[in-house]
Amino acid sequence: MRKIDFHTLGPLIALIALVVLGASLNSAFLAPANITNVLARSAFIGMIAVGMTFVITAGGLDLSVGSMAAFLAGITIIAMNVLVPNLGTHWGTILIGMGVAVLGGLAAGYLNGALVTKARIEPFIVTLGTMGIFRSLVTWLADGGTLSLDYALRTLYRPVYYGGIGWITWPIICFALVALLGEWMMRHSRFGRHVEAIGSNDRVARYSAIDVNRVRLLTYVLLGLLVGLAVVLYVPRLGSASGSTGVLWELEAIAAVIIGGTALKGGRGRVWGTVMGVLILSLIDNILNLANLVSPYLNGAIQGVIIVLAVVLQREKHAAGER
């Protein structure tokens, strides 16, 4: 039993080790401003990764989330820019914009889910396709350039990313709420148990009278919703979207999920682990920037090593726990 506990705690231990490393390398690391920065910038990938945990646990995969985020940011900005002359610069316009992002996310997630469950196409292929579609659409909408939010509206919207309660900014609060809810859903709700059951063995799940397709579809819709929420927080940060928004977010989210101990083949989901995975990835970036440890050319290599190492360590512990 104690070994299994240790396995669950693995990502947490890695995270603590990184924090200690960061603090010993640079005193600015533990300053509230730096902590706020790191947590807030983790929030986008973090919320997406929580949704991704459900999709992967149910045996699926979604490669389209980065492009989807860029596309949703694009239509959100366009919607708000169109509405400004009619509705004026106030929170109503922003709320409609947020609505566009969230509804767009639900629709995009439904599209992925329906293609996987109703048209019975492999999730890898479906989302590889929609990844290209969303990315091209945002480039087309932006005419190859950048879509920028109306300046006055942006000034009003800005506090949604930068404001908050003291140094705990809204993205951090949203990320925390999403993580808590996600953990609760995975551990204690019927939906979460169904997701794990389908991921371990969908045939058995079907014989147990679980509506497999409906649950799978819902995981993609949930992920779409969370991408929409991430966009609501992303747009006020820079007030712009372009073809290069959200590039590789899907892989970062998948990496975070795997580092956190969720099995890529499905059946075992760990939302807390995912949160740790996201923080680990952001901290590596942050520490490399703060510390000048290695040539910046090698940042990607360091991240790669840590991702592989995290998974290798977990595999061994996991195997030991099962024995």
Integer CA distances (angstroms), 238 to 41, 65, 79, in order: 12, 19, 17
DSSP 242: E
Binding other proteins (rule: CB under 8 A), the pick from 6, 124, 162, 184 is 162
Least distance (Å) between residue 220 CB and other proteins: 25
Residue 290 makes contact with other proteins by CB under 8 A: yes
Q: How far apart are CA 176 and CA 114, in angstroms?
A: 29
Indicate the residue type of 29.
Answer: F
Least distance (Å) between residue 239 CB and other proteins: 8
Residue 28 makes contact with other proteins by CB under 8 A: yes
Least distance (Å) between residue 247 CB and other proteins: 8
Among the listed ranges 26-34, 57-65, 108-116, 309-317, the one in contact with other proteins (CB under 8 A) is 26-34
| Crossing angle (nearest 10°) for helices 170-188 and 212-238 | 170
Least distance (Å) between residue 141 CB and other proteins: 11
Binding other proteins (rule: CB under 8 A), the pick from 64, 274, 286, 314 is 286
Indicate the residue type of 249.
Answer: W
Residue 166 makes contact with other proteins by CB under 8 A: no
Find the binding residues for other proteins in span 84-113 (CB under 8 A): none
Residue 148 makes contact with other proteins by CB under 8 A: yes
38 or 212, CB closer to other proteins? 38
* Binding footprint of other proteins, residue count (CB under 8 A): 32
Name the one residue in this structure whose structure tokens are 């807390």. Answer: 272
Residue 245 makes contact with other proteins by CB under 8 A: yes
CA 66 from centre of chain: 9
Contacts of 116 by beta carbon, 8 Å cutoff, 6+ apart: 60, 122, 123, 126, 216, 217, 220
Find the binding residues for other proteins in span 293-322 (CB under 8 A): 296-297, 299
Please name which of 10, 87, 76 lies closest in space to residue 237, comparing C-alpha atoms. Answer: 76
Please name which of 109, 73, 77, 129 lies closest in space to residue 245, comparing C-alpha atoms. Answer: 73
Exposure on the CB side of residue 191, measured as CA atoms within 13 A: 15
Among the listed ranges 31-39, 174-182, 201-209, 264-272, the one in contact with other proteins (CB under 8 A) is 31-39
Sign of the C-alpha dihedral computed for residues 299, 303, 305 and 306 taken in this order: positive
Among the listed ranges 47-55, 136-144, 188-196, 222-230, the one in contact with other proteins (CB under 8 A) is 136-144
Instruction: Kindly list the residues in this chain that would bind other proteins in the complex (CB under 8 A).
Output: 26, 28-29, 31, 33-34, 37, 41, 139, 142-146, 148, 162, 237-238, 240, 242-245, 247, 285-286, 289-290, 292, 296-297, 299
